[in-house]
Amino acid sequence: MIRDATQDDIPEIRAMIRELAAYERAVEQARATEEQLREALFGERPAAHVVIAEDDGSGEVVGFALWFPRFSTWTGTRGMHLEDLYVRPQARGAGHGKALLATLAAICTRSGYERFEWWVLGWNRPTIDFYKSLGVELLEEWKVCRLSGGPLEELAAQAPVATESG
């Protein structure tokens, strides 16, 4: 079963984020607190949305997908960015990942979004193969750019005019 997350799911969401980070060999980077997640997902201006996968028999939370809208200047339309998709190891192969992605695809089409995009680590062959089985197009020519920490602060200090955007 797939359902929208509630505030009661915050501890499970945070736990699965940490499990995903451990799988991706970056657990030290998963620093989000329950309070931060509560504000980001259920605050006055939610930054993201989450759907939860539950085991049909036990009702146990076995996975989640966290997404947020994006905008394409080329198409002039909104799209969806999938930030995290995770299914717990004991529940893999039972269709939960596909059900989560199908739910997000339905949200996309219902919302008039033209694109549904996300990133995958190049070494994660089982996941890449799963995505390919769904007809996903891998955009090999694009590279992810990230500015954070000291370099972000240094560039921000060079801004000619302070802005209040966002």
Return d(Cα 48, Cα 37) in angstroms, integer.
9
* Orientation of helix 10-23 relative to helix 34-42, angle to 10°: 110
- Answer yes or no: are the C-beta atoms of 120 and 139 closer than 8 Å: no
Backbone angles phi, psi at 74, to 5 degrees: -75, -40
Determine which one of 23, 86, 113, 131 is catalytic: 131
Instruction: Phi first, then psi: give them for residue 72, nearest 5 degrees.
Output: -105, 120
Give yes or no: 113 in active site.
Answer: no
How is residue 122 written in tokens?
């190049």
Q: Tokens at residue 56, please?
A: 């049909």
Tokens matching residue 54: 């539950």
List, by residue number, the catalytic residues. Answer: 131
